[in-house]
A and B are shown apart, each in its own frame.
Chain A
Amino acid sequence: MRDFIIPDDAYVPASTADMGTPPSRATTTVTLTVDGMPVTVPSGTSVMRAAAEAGIAIPKLCATDSMAAIGSCRLCLVEVEGMRGTPASCTTPVAEGMVVHTESELIRKLRRGVMELYVSDHPRDLLTSPANGLDEVQDMAAAVGLREVRYTPGENHVAPCMANGEANPRFREPDRSNPYFTYDPALCIVCMRCVRACDEIQGTFALTVQGRGFESRIVAGQDQPFLNSDCVSCGACVQACPTGSLLENSVAEIGVPERTVITTCAYCGVGCNFEAQMRGDQVVRMVPWKHGKANHGHSCVKGRFAWGYANHGERILSPMVREKITDPWRETTWEEAITFAADRLKAIQQEHGIDSVGVITSSRCTNEETYLVQKLARAVLRTNNTDTCARVCHSPTGYGLKTTFGTSAGTHDFDSVDFCDVALVIGANPTDAHPVFASRLRKRLREGAKLIVVDPRRIDLLETPHLGEAHHLSIKPGTNVAVLTAMAHVIVTEGLVSTEFIRERCDWDEYLDYAEFLSDPRHSPEATEAATGVPPEALRAAARLYATGGNGAIYYGLGVTEHAQGSTAVMAIANLAMLTGNIGKPGTGVNPLRGQNNVQGSCDMGSFPHELPGYRHITDPVARDIYERAWGVPVPEEPGLRIPNMFDAAVAGAFRGLYCQGEDILQSDPDSSHVAAALSAMDCVIVQDLFLNETATYAHVFLPGSTFLEKDGTFTNAERRINPVRKVMAPKNGYGDWEITQLLANALGAGWSYTHPSQIMDEIAATTPSFAGVSFDLLDAVGSVQWPCNEDAPLGTPMMHGTGFVRGKGKFVHTEYVASDERTGPRFPLLLTTGRILSQYNVGAQTRRTANTVWHDEDLLEIHPHDAEERGIRSGDWVRLASRAGATTLRALVTARVAPGVVYTTFHHPTTQANVVTTDSSDWATNCPEYKVTAVQVMPSNGPSEWQEDYAERAEASRRVLPLEAAE
């Protein structure tokens, strides 16, 4: 039986006014009178916020509604009948029947006195300052009616020189070390909003107040430039700063924004909503939207600052074609490029059969665009050869959760973390890959929740400032299933199961059978230690904590799925949640941290070769009927090729044409030499992207794509939340990605006539039960919805499986550990695992073309001191990384963060060619590549490997472009 919880705060308040202090979560209310107006608010609300609800803006400087009040600036004083003196309204909670006056002769005098003090140590001439128009000190001076500053000029923090001409020891030059924002101490009023933002919201604690009294000043780290400190450039401090002391460089360059469009970030699966603040069609800055349900006004460095790639010089704006991939590119018209592509695809199908061509949909493009690409494959090319990048990341999540629970997606939303008591984080590194979620998790950990991390590396989450109880199970790559099954063994044999939950929500006999399987000594922590490397007592302690510590939530990532037993591990995770009753209530659940901005969406839209939109198998008669009527053609009935199968078939000569939208398979898929061989063997490779990526080296047609700023559509994040993407500028390349797909489809005879993406969403809603209620109008009204969104749940479904699983009873699956084929041996004695870093995103196509390169301009190989010493390797040395698939060269970083025997790198830079080394080992159920386990050897090296040199030469040659010939 399905059960959906309907959200009660679905309507989006239109105002982004600063209410002064955070909202209260209390359910009881209080009524008070402010300036004669009655107002009713939840108990625990501050007087300041209550006044704001009544439309009264009490002057303030240190208070803002994203963080707890500290009552520092003394500007927000009010008079309360019956209370002595003039309390600060930000730190005074409301009381029933309270009578508040926000204006009086006394209050005016006090406020002017406060502002007089502030202004006496503040720049007076702001007319040419970047902060002009943005400095709240200006606003507050005006609000309180300040007319004179009686303090004679003396010691100050503002002027570079003193009256006697000597340098002012209190003056500091602006800190411009960070590429995106500037810190100008002269404007600072030490309200501490930045420190509090870094502490409470971001959780990095990179800032502090140095000194005290008049000597107080905000510094980063131990009084270092921002770039050298712990600062991760999330920009929360910049957003919080009331004076413009911390200010975006783009505002300084362009000016104050004049209009705002709400849209969604195109980087990771958190799906932060942003205000694109514009002047005309130019983006001035991206400010996280406070009403974004996934991010609540916060973001990371990428979404907030790294959007400049849309204007980068390397962006391709004209279509290009070439007969052979060894020719230079020839710029041409859209018509010619599309016709070229369509003719070739048709010819290939004529000669080699219908299934000799296929498509790869993008997990970065919108739902509407993805839907069209799979429709192109099925309805126009008449093949099920369509796949997407989820293949290489979370396809095991789909298989595993569908089998155990009945839905191929996460069970909760991010907000649920606020109710969790034990967070079990497996194979995920959220501070790097899902930073905004990690900040929420860190906040909860600071409040006392406990942490268990299962990872071969000591991830940054374990270094959380003010972390309480934490356990790190440092596991040998490839042994997740052994550890998870051992944890289940402990829970069952020590009597820690939630019997009530199992009896009600699962099949009891199936459970008994499963419990018997688990109880076998071969699954005990003691027996599995040899394979996993995890000390038994540590494992037992972790298992007991998860089972008995209160609400237990599991968060997992690609460290679970990108394995030969990825699907099995997902099912083992689901088993753990069911055994302990950690499902169906806030603070629990199984939460896959989906990587890309729209990978969830691209799966939802039927990008897989065996599924139509909405996860219905291509042989499902009901689904077939719906689509055959909607599209007017029969739906092909055999499963198509998955991406790895496409490569195999290409090498065998059977697959010869590919339309690849927004995906750089050569850099991101494993076993690069195999991918290159496959691409070279094809007759027509069409790449639709922003830049000449690595895959384009082997392409015949290049169709320039559009960025998220240049189109309307929707992205679906890891919470199943459908977020709107709104156009803020015309596409520089001429067309939105969906228009390009339509052009290609029509050149192939499709006859499509979409004029706006909302029509595509309407078609999706009409054909997909779980999306039936979704429309652009709904999103305009409520901001975002989590699917399923239909008659049963008109405003979406934040939490699933509340009283029953979608498949009925939860299914326990036996999870026997099977060692991966990727085993170490004398030739390859180390295990390589891969991951991501905060400042670069995935293959780096976008982030490498922004100032983010200042943080991570090359991939490094992390190696443990023992292994490094054995090989004579020091940090900074070039090393050769080799596996049975290939070899590459990169620089080493010696660190004890990885366990002995394990090495680690990222794959953000094409010059590294990290995937030359990964193999074709993959998950048994979904072929998700086993990126996380590769047997390798590491040796000192002289320079780039042969592969890298050949590759670099080839890539450079392939990027030559002949300009469009001028018309006579």
Chain B
Amino acid sequence: MSGGDAKLVRMANQIATFFETQPGIDPAAATAAHLNDFWPPPMRARLLEMIAEGGTGLRPAAAGAAPLIRRPGEAPVHAVPVDPGVPPVRAGEEAAPANPAFQSEGGSDG
């Protein structure tokens, strides 16, 4: 695996590791939400390619995020704060009822 790829795997795994420790959420969905919010398209694209090729070295939550990771070119999700309890919504789908306790001024920071 190339250096760049190894790095992507490591970073994706780090993110997945965090969300795996959070109660009451789907780690794969939360990982996908984080990636959608913070990773630029080329990085997401390469990760999706690696997952499609088998996802060697990726934790289940990272590999399992694939269906919810936004493909480059797809319409963006409406801004919802990255609340691990709310999975991201694709354009055209109904948003899950937003938990008002998590509404704030804007997206979270990173």
Assembly CA distance A155 to B100 (angstroms): 81
- In the complex the two chains form, is B22's CB within 8 Å of A813's CB? yes
Name the distance in Å between B80's Cβ and chain A's nearest Cβ. 9
B76 contacts partner chain A, Cβ-Cβ < 8 Å = yes
Indicate whether A616 sits within 8 Å of B37 (C-beta atoms), given known contacts A395-B110, A924-B17.
Answer: no
Contact of A568 with B110 in the complex, beta carbons under 8 Å: no
B110 near A610 (CB under 8 angstroms)?
yes
Find out whether the CB atom of A924 lies under 8 angstroms from the CB atom of B4: no
Query: Which chain B residue has the least Cβ–Cβ distance from A818?
Result: B17
Are B106 and A623 within 8 A (Cβ)? yes
Instruction: Say yes or no: A924-B109 contact (C-beta < 8 A), given A507-B101, A639-B38.
Output: no
Q: Mark B71-110, 1 if CB is under 8 A from A, else 0.
A: 0100011110110000000000000000011111111111
Please indicate the chain B residues that have their CB under 8 angstroms from the CB of A639 in the complex.
37-40
Taking a contact as CB atoms under 8 Å apart, the answer to whether B76 and A654 are in contact is no
Most buried by B among A620, A814, A922: A620
Residue A730 interfacial (CB < 8 Å): no
Name which residue of chain B comes closest to A621, CB basis.
B78
Binary contact readout A360-404 vs B (1 if CB under 8 angstroms, 0 otherwise): 000000000000000000000000110000000001001101110
Contact between A654 and B42, CB atoms less than 8 A apart: yes
Chain B contacts for A649, CB-based, 8 A: 42
Distance (whole angstroms) from the CB of A265 to the closest CB of chain B: 26
Please, what's the 1-or-0 string for A806-833, where 1 marks a CB less than 8 Å from any CB in chain B?
A: 1111010111101001000000000000
Q: Give Cα A384 to B42, complex, Å.
A: 13
* A482–chain B nearest beta-carbon distance, Å: 13
Interface residue from B15, B100, B101, B108 paired with A924 (Cβ < 8 Å): B15
Check B107 against A615 for contact (C-beta < 8 Å).
yes
Q: Which A residues lie within 8 Å of B106 (CB)?
A: 611, 614-617, 620, 623
B52 in contact (CB, < 8 A): no
A582 at the B interface (CB under 8 A): no
Q: Which residues from A are CB-within-8-Å of B108?
A: 399, 402-403, 617
* Cα(A814)–Cα(B84), bound, Å: 12
**Interchain nearest-CB distance for A156 vs B (Å):** 65
B67 on the A face (CB < 8 A): no
Q: Which of A62-70, A522-530, A640-648 is the contact stretch?
A: A640-648
In the bound assembly, the distance between CA atoms of A621 and B78 in angstroms comes to 7
Select A927's contact among B11, B76, B105, beta carbons within 8 Å: B11
* B109 interface neighbour in A513, A608, A619, A808, Cβ under 8 Å: A608
Contacts of A428 in B (CB 8 A): none
Q: Which residues from 882 to 934 on chain A have a C-beta closer than 8 Å to any C-beta of chain B? A: 920, 922, 924-927
Query: Is A652 interfacial (CB 8 A cutoff)?
Result: yes
Report the bound CA distance from A651 to B7 in whole Å.
13
Contact A513 B37 (CB under 8 A): no
Residues of A within 8 A of B72 (CB): 638
- Range of interface residues on A (Cβ < 8 Å): 35 or more
Asked if B23 CB lies within 8 Å of chain A CBs, one says yes
Return chain B residues, CB-CB under 8 Å to A581: none
**Do A638 and B105 have beta carbons less than 8 Å apart?**
no
Cα distance, A769 to B37, chains bound together (Å): 22
Contacts of A807 in B (CB 8 A): 81, 101-104
What's the Cα separation between A814 and B20 when bound, in Å?
10
Asked whether A638 lies within 8 Å of B40 as measured between CB atoms, the reply is yes
- Interface set, chain A 384-442, CB cutoff 8 A to B: 384-385, 395, 398-399, 401-403, 406-408
Nearest CB in chain A: distance from B50 CB, A: 14
Is A814 in contact with B105, judged by CB distance below 8 angstroms? Answer: no
Q: Is the CB of A645 within 8 A of B79?
A: no
Residues in A neighbouring B76, C-beta threshold 8 A:
619, 637-638
List, in ascending order, chain A residues with CB within 8 A of B40's CB: 355, 384-385, 609, 638-641, 645
Chain B residues with Cβ below 8 Å from A194 are none
Contact, CB under 8 Å: A924 / B110: no
- Rounded to whole Å, the gap between the CB of B9 and the closest CB of chain A is 12
Complex Cα gap A818–B76 (Å): 32
A297–B21 alpha-carbon span in the complex (Å)? 48
- Specify which of B24, B37, B79 is in contact with A621 (CB 8 Å cutoff): B79
* Given A402-B108, A608-B110, residue A616 in contact with residue B79 (CB < 8 A): yes
Q: How far is the CB of A561 from chain B (nearest CB, A)?
A: 12
B110 → chain A closest CB, angstroms: 5
Of B18, B24, B42, B104, the contact of A406 (CB 8 Å cutoff):
B104
In whole angstroms, how far apart are the Cα atoms of A639 and B38 in the complex? 6
List chain A residues, Cβ under 8 A from B57: none
Task: Among A641, A654, A809, A926, point to the contact of B101 (Cβ < 8 A).
Answer: A809
Chain A residues positioned under 8 Å from B10 (CB to CB): 821
Bound together, the chains give a CA A513 to CA B82 distance in angstroms of: 20
Complex Cα–Cα for A821 and B14 (A): 10
Report the minimum CB–CB distance from B25 to chain A (whole Å).
11
Whether the Cβ atoms of B22 and A617 lie closer than 8 Å is no
Q: Say whether B101 contacts A808, CB under 8 Å.
A: yes
- Tell whether, in the assembled complex, residue B105 and residue A610 are in contact, meaning their CB atoms are under 8 Å apart: no
**A517-B23 contact in complex given A564-B14, A808-B100, C-beta closer than 8 Å:** yes
| B:4-48 near A, CB below 8 Å | 4, 7, 10-11, 14-15, 17-18, 21-24, 34, 37-43
B22 and A619: CB pair below 8 A?
Answer: no
Contact B18 A568 (CB under 8 A): yes
A403 to B15, CA, bound (A): 15
Asked if A672 is at the interface of the complex by the 8 Å CB criterion, the answer is: no
A-B contact pairs, 9 of them (CB 8 A): A398-B110, A401-B109, A513-B23, A615-B106, A623-B106, A638-B41, A640-B40, A814-B22, A925-B15
Residues of B bordering A, CB below 8 Å: 4, 7, 10-11, 14-15, 17-18, 21-24, 34, 37-43, 72, 76-79, 81-82, 100-110
Closest 7 CB pairs of A and B: A617-B107, A398-B109, A616-B106, A620-B79, A924-B14, A816-B21, A807-B104
